[in-house]
Structures are given as structure tokens and as C-alpha cells.
């Protein structure tokens, strides 16, 4: 009968060697210190007994865990799961594990999660959380723990990041709308406290300026959060105050709220108003009407983030890196030429 827990000493005993030798024989890096035949015997014994090293003990000794913490603001937002998958897959290639946790966009909760993660000695962090300047990030940097941020660039210190090409995405949207004949274009912008909010807002003003089109303040409403409810509220406000024929929403969730508001007010999209989103999250092609939006390479973003982190963890580099990934404009039915 198999023991409940096979330890290194068991393997050593079974192979007739000292635990230290067994340890060296089992580790790729130290195997050369051991006689080939002895190593073979140890490996065979390990296999036979079904030995699995206890990561806890290893961590205590080495200080490393082969684990990266992934902090997500809101797991229920379909934007994140594909990114997480990319992260997990890439980490797994190097036998690293992702420790995933939700922060719910809640500062207190974020603090708690951070503590839990650090008490677990995770080797590095991937932050999908979105505040532009926060203490979490600051604390990690202060303690020299490797960090990569995804979908937001930090304001202050230099931290590696991965983000979609917000600029190119919004440009493409604006160009598309202008080409359709729109001249009065409004925007439901994201919160200015989030870097995506800011970046995309700037891109819109730049994009319109490039076409010689104005963006008067009454055609801009800032959402207080990237939520459907806020999208609805902002669109309602725009409908009351402007004669815009198209609205660029800072992300898909806001765009969905915009569509809600249009329906509420008895208006039709795209006949009365064109609407665009950003991210191309799940089911955006199934909306009524299907949403014109910007597709970002979700999984790729996760892959890239994990790669950058691994580079730091494996000591291959210490330089920070900023990856900006390409986007694609996906034209669907929520955009059309303006009425006359």
C-alpha cells in the first residue's frame, strides 16, 4: 500500500542514498553533481513511489514559489478571463502557477488580497487592476517585487506593462465614423482616474482634430465607472444635450449601456445614432444591433504579460518593458451613415 505522503527521505532510503544526494539527483540543475547511475536509481525510486516534492518545504528553504499572483478587478467582466487564460498557459510552460484573485475594485479588499499573496511568498504580480496610482503598486515596487500591469499604464514609477493600442483603436473608430459621413461625434468617456479612460479620451480628441472636427464639451460625458448603468446614464445625458449622430464609447460595457438608453428613448441604432465600443468582449456580436467595436488580442495580452514577468523572475532581464499590442476594427451593424 502506498504511503499517504511520500517524502524525499523515503525516496532516498528506497534508493539507498542520503536525502541530500536524492535531492541533487532529482533537480535538473544539480544532477551533474551525482553519479549518473546513482541518479538513475534515485529517479527510478521517485517514480516508483510517486514522489512529489513538497512545494511548501521547498519554498521555505529557497524563498521561491514558482507562483505569480494575478489580481483582477472583476472576474465577471468578460474582458478578463481570456487574458487570464493567456497568463496561465504561459506560466505553465515554465512550471509556474497563477494565483488568481478578485479585488472587486475595492481598495480594502485589494489590500487584503495583497497581504494574503505576499504572506504566501508569491514571486511576482500581474495586476489587471485599474487605478492609475495606488498604494498596492507602490508597495510592490518599494519592496522590489516584480510587477507587470495589464491594460493600464502606471502614472508614476516605471513598471512593465502590456496594453492594447488604444490610440490606434480609437483612431480607427473615428476614421470609420467620419468615412460614413458623421461630423457631429460625441463620446462616453471612461473615468479619468483610469489610464484606459484617459488614453482613449485623448485619442478621440486627437482623432477628431485630425479630421478638423470639433469636440465641444457638451458632446463629452465622463462615466464614473466602466459599467452598463453608467453607459446608460451618460447616453441619456448626451441625448438631452446634443445633436450628435454618433457616439464613441470608451469600452463595450459602456456601449451596451448606450444601446439600452437609446432603446429606452425610443430611438434606433444605427438609424438615429451610431454607437461603437472597445474590446470586443463576449457576445458583442449577438447584441441588437451587433456592436461595431475594436478587438484587442485578449489572450495575447495575457501571454505577453506572463512572458515579461517570467523574464524578470528567471533573471533574464531587469529592464522594464512596455508592450503595446495591435488592434482590429470590427465593423458590425451599430454604425451606419447618419440620417441625411
CA–CA separation, 7 and 254 (whole Å): 54
Closest approach, Cβ 41 to DNA, in A, equals 9
User: Is residue 329 within 8 Å of residue 169, measured between CB atoms?
Assistant: yes
Q: What cell was used for 304?
A: 505577453
Q: Toward a copy of itself, which CB reaches closer, 243 or 264?
A: 264
Q: Toward DNA, which CB reaches closer, 115 or 271?
A: 115
100: nearest Cα among 126, 66, 137, 132: 126
140: left (phi over 0), alpha (psi -120 to 50) or beta: alpha
User: Is residue 314 within 8 Å of residue 94, measured between CB atoms?
Assistant: yes
Residue 188, SS3? Answer: strand
Q: Toward DNA, which CB reaches closer, 53 or 290?
A: 53
> Applying CB under 7 A, does 95 fall inside the site for DNA?
no
CA–CA separation, 45 and 6 (whole Å): 11
> Applying CB under 8 A, does 98 fall inside the site for a copy of itself?
yes
Closest approach, Cβ 52 to DNA, in A, equals 7
CA distances from 119 to 56, 96, 115 (A): 12, 18, 6
Q: Applying CB under 7 A, which of residues 38, 102, 183, 241 lies at the interface with DNA?
A: 38
> Applying CB under 7 A, does 30 fall inside the site for DNA?
yes
Instruction: Considering only the stretches 36-44, 99-107, 159-167, 180-188, report the one whose residues sit in contact with a copy of itself under the rule CB under 8 A.
Output: 99-107
Closest approach, Cβ 64 to DNA, in A, equals 9
* Residue 23 contact partner, candidates DNA, a copy of itself, none, CB within 5 to 8 A by sort of partner: DNA
75: nearest Cα among 112, 47, 106, 53: 106
Residue 43, SS3? Answer: helix
**Burial track 240-251 (b if 16+ CB lie within 10 A, e otherwise):** eebebbbbbbbb
> Applying CB under 7 A, does 46 fall inside the site for DNA?
no
* Residue 116 contact partner, candidates a copy of itself, DNA, none, CB within 5 to 8 A by sort of partner: a copy of itself
Report the sign of the C-alpha dihedral through residues 167, 168, 171, 172, in that order.
negative
Query: Can you tell me which residue has the cell 551533474?
Result: 32
Neighbours of 60 (CB within 10 A): 10
**Contacts with DNA in 58-87 (CB under 7 A)?**
58, 60-62
> Applying CB under 7 A, does 23 fall inside the site for DNA?
yes
CA–CA separation, 53 and 46 (whole Å): 10
77: nearest Cα among 281, 301, 288, 304: 281
Instruction: Considering only the stretches 3-11, 97-105, 197-205, 214-222, report the one whose residues sit in contact with DNA under the rule CB under 7 A.
Output: 3-11
**Contacts with a copy of itself in 180-239 (CB under 8 A)?**
none
Closest approach, Cβ 190 to a copy of itself, in A, equals 20
CA–CA separation, 129 and 151 (whole Å): 8
* Residue 234 contact partner, candidates DNA, a copy of itself, none, CB within 5 to 8 A by sort of partner: none
* Residue 138 contact partner, candidates DNA, a copy of itself, none, CB within 5 to 8 A by sort of partner: none
**Contacts with a copy of itself in 1-40 (CB under 8 A)?**
4
* Residue 78 contact partner, candidates a copy of itself, DNA, none, CB within 5 to 8 A by sort of partner: a copy of itself
Residues that bind DNA (CB under 7 A): 5, 7-9, 17-21, 23-24, 26-27, 30, 32-39, 51, 53-54, 57-58, 60-62
Residues that bind a copy of itself (CB under 8 A): 4, 52-57, 59-60, 65, 75-76, 78, 81-82, 84-85, 88, 92, 97-102, 104, 112, 115-116, 118-121, 143, 256, 259, 282-283, 286-289
Amino acid at each position: 500500500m502506498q504511503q499517504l505522503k511520500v517524502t524525499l527521505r523515503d525516496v532516498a532510503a528506497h534508493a539507498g542514498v542520503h536525502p541530500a544526494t536524492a535531492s541533487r539527483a532529482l533537480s535538473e540543475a544539480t544532477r551533474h553533481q551525482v553519479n549518473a547511475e546513482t541518479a538513475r536509481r534515485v529517479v527510478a525510486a521517485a517514480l516508483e513511489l510517486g514522489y512529489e516534492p513538497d512545494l511548501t518545504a521547498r519554498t521555505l528553504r529557497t524563498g521561491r514559489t514558482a507562483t505569480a499572483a494575478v489580481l483582477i478587478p472583476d472576474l465577471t467582466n468578460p474582458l478578463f478571463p481570456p487574458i487570464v487564460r493567456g497568463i496561465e498557459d504561459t506560466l505553465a510552460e515554465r512550471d509556474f502557477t497563477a494565483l488568481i484573485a478578485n479585488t472587486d475594485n475595492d481598495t480594502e479588499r485589494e489590500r487584503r488580497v495583497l497581504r494574503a499573496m505576499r504572506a504566501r511568498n508569491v514571486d511576482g504580480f500581474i495586476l489587471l487592476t485599474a487605478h492609475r496610482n495606488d498604494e498596492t503598486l507602490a508597495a510592490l515596487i518599494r519592496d522590489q517585487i516584480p510587477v507587470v500591469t495589464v491594460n493600464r499604464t502606471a502614472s508614476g514609477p516605471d513598471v512593465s506593462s502590456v496594453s492594447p493600442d488604444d490610440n490606434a483603436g480609437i483612431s480607427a473608430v473615428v476614421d470609420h465614423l467620419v468615412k460614413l459621413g458623421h461630423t457631429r461625434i460625441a463620446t462616453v468617456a471612461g473615468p479619468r482616474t483610469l489610464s484606459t479612460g484617459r488614453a482613449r479620451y485623448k485619442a478621440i480628441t486627437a482623432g477628431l482634430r485630425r479630421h478638423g472636427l470639433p469636440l465641444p464639451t457638451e458632446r463629452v460625458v465622463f462615466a464614473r465607472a466602466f459599467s452598463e448603468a453608467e453607459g446608460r446614464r451618460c447616453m441619456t445625458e448626451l441625448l438631452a444635450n446634443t445633436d450628435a449622430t454618433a457616439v464613441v464609447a470608451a469600452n463595450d460595457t459602456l456601449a451596451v449601456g448606450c444601446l439600452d438608453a437609446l432603446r429606452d428613448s425610443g430611438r434606433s441604432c444605427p438609424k438615429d445614432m451610431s454607437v461603437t465600443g472597445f474590446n470586443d468582449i463576449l457576445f458583442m456580436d449577438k447584441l441588437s444591433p451587433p456592436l461595431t467595436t475594436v478587438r484587442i488580442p485578449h489572450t495575447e495580452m495575457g501571454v505577453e504579460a506572463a512572458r515579461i514577468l517570467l523574464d524578470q523572475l528567471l533573471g533574464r532581464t531587469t529592464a522594464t518593458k512596455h508592450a503595446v499590442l495591435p488592434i482590429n476594427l470590427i465593423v458590425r451593424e451599430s454604425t451606419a451613415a447618419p440620417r441625411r
